[in-house]
């Protein structure tokens, strides 16, 4: 009987097995050699059978928790000095940080960077998912991660800029520059935040944008001039307020990023936050959102303007936004806001996701659309992936006023896909370029594009399977995912995720 083992050692082993008495007849002086060969062969067989020592997988971690990533927490990854740093929501909704060295091909981490109150709240039976991490690297090289908040909890006191829900917005800073292995939790930002977006300006000033509470809250920013060690008090720029014509409250979802020079640009949509039983179809509290807006913030003068340069009153309310910042009206369609970028002419481009309200809590599936300012008017939104129905999310780059590239999470039947879509006519139409990742019977959650991204590492992807509450996390670039050894990607899981099933 021969043993089916690949490699040069199979010749030695099988020759010996053909003559079972061969081992007994070998001279005493060769016993040590035979022992070594036999031991190596057995190790080779074990390795081949288990695959643990040599198998590579295309994900870098398998301990993502819940909805581990979202575009609104921006940036979740940064490329800096040959290293891509990535973050995601891991066990107990804590922030986890890993890094990939593009020169050596080596992974480091992931390491837990802080402790989230969301994953340890009293009575927790499901994921909250609002405290996913956001990264920033200051001018001294220290890495900052913002995480853990969904509006703050009642034990934090009164939120003067909105209402509360759960968790506490937190900030952790690496103990050493560009070192993700150890972290300090610092108390320097408002606990009432959620949806963090971190921006470092050319002069080193840091702006942290977020919603100051739960649904019925202002959107604010906090500014730091000392590399994120201290922050000024929150400043409101989008105002929530009670409506007088409906049993509802005006609210918002925003996405902020550095623009040209001293400017920060903001894309946002309007959230009609109904009182529980006032929603016309009887659905109670929903995520009803509409339209796409744009404005710009000059951090040097403190002035906010619309795309035409008109000054805006701050904090902006719904009435003035409808008059001065509206880029696209979606009518009865429900939206899910995306990102905003500038082209080489300084004109803004907006990604927004919208679709028909089908009566669900979230309305219905929403597809990614693109629109742009041409210097005098906003274009009509164009569907990026060309589908009539379905769900997609993604981010984009604009290399010129004509050339636009989206990377989208999408679905193909029951398969989840990550695909690239390109336009060479300013967004009038898009065509599929290539597919970067596909997984059966799954859906994907994605980050925004990694800041200053390397071609091999454009965005972070979490695979959501109905078969397990744990999420595989991928780092995907132009040539697909960057994997690692299975044993290194297999991590400690969060056993508390099964509590909702038990109850």
Active site residues: 130, 195
Contact between residue 312 and residue 306 where contact means Cβ atoms under 8 Å apart? yes
Contact between residue 88 and residue 61 where contact means Cβ atoms under 8 Å apart? yes
Q: CB atoms < 10 A from the CB of 112, how many?
A: 17
Tell me how far apart the alpha carbons of residues 84 and 358 are, in angstroms, rounded to a whole number: 40
Sign of CA dihedral 254, 238, 134, 65: negative
SS3 assignment, position 383: strand
Contact between residue 41 and residue 80 where contact means Cβ atoms under 8 Å apart? no
The percent of the chain in helix, strand and coil, each rounded to the nearest 5, is 15, 45, 45
Which helix (DSSP H) or strand (DSSP E) does residue 85 occupy? Answer: strand 83-89
SS3 assignment, position 29: helix
Tell me how far apart the alpha carbons of residues 292 and 170 are, in angstroms, rounded to a whole number: 29
Q: CB atoms < 10 A from the CB of 157, how many?
A: 11
CA-CA distances (angstroms) from residue 225 to 196, 199, 229? 18, 12, 8
């Amino acid at each position: 009987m021969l043993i089916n083992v690949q490699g040069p050692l199979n010749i030695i082993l099988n020759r010996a097995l053909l003559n079972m008495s061969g081992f007994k007849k070998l001279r005493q002086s060769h016993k040590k050699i035979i022992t070594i060969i036999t031991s190596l062969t057995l190790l080779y067989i074990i390795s081949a059978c288990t695959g643990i020592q040599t198998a590579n997988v295309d994900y870098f971690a398998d301990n993502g928790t819940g909805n581990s990533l979202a575009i609104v927490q921006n940036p979740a990854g940064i490329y800096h000095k040959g290293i891509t740093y990535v973050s995601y929501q891991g066990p107990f909704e804590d922030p986890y940080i890993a890094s990939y060295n593009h020169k050596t091909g080596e992974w480091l981490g992931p390491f837990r960077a802080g402790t989230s109150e969301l994953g340890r709240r009293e009575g927790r039976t499901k994921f909250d998912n609002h405290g996913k991490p956001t990264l920033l690297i200051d001018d001294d090289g220290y890495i900052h991660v913002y995480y853990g908040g969904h509006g703050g909890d009642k034990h934090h006191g009164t939120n003067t800029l909105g209402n509360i829900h759960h968790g506490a917005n937190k900030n952790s800073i690496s103990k050493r520059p560009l070192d993700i292995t150890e972290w300090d939790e610092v108390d320097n930002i408002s606990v009432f935040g959620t949806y963090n977006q971190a921006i470092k300006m050319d002069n080193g000033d840091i702006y942290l944008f977020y919603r100051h509470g739960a649904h019925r809250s202002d959107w604010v920013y906090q500014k730091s001039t000392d590399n994120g060690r201290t922050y000024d008090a929150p400043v409101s720029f989008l105002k929530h307020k009670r409506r007088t014509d409906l049993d509802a409250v005006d609210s918002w979802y925003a996405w902020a990023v550095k623009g040209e020079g001293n400017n920060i640009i903001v894309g946002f949509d309007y959230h009609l936050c109904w009182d529980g039983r006032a929603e016309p179809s009887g659905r109670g509290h929903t995520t009803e959102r509409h339209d796409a807006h744009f404005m710009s913030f000059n951090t040097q003068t403190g002035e906010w303007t619309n795309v035409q340069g008109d000054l805006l009153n701050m904090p902006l309310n719904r009435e003035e936004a409808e008059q001065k910042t509206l880029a696209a009206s979606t009518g009865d369609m429900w939206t899910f806001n995306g990102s905003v970028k500038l082209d080489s002419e300084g004109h803004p481009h907006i990604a927004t996701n919208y679709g028909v309200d089908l009566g669900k809590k979230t309305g219905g599936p929403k597809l990614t659309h693109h629109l742009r300012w041409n210097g005098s008017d906003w274009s009509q939104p164009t569907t990026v992936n060309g589908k009539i129905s379905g769900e997609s999310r993604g981010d984009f780059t604009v290399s010129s006023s004509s050339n636009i590239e989206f990377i989208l999470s999408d679905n193909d039947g029951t398969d989840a896909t990550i695909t690239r879509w390109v336009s060479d006519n300013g967004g009038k139409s898009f065509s599929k370029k290539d597919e970067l990742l596909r997984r059966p019977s799954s859906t994907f959650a994605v980050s925004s594009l990694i800041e200053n991204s390397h071609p091999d590492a454009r965005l972070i992807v979490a695979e959501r399977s109905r078969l397990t509450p744990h999420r595989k996390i991928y780092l995907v670039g132009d040539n697909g995912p960057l994997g690692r050894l299975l044993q290194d990607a297999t991590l400690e899981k969060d056993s508390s995720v099964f509590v909702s099933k038990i109850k």
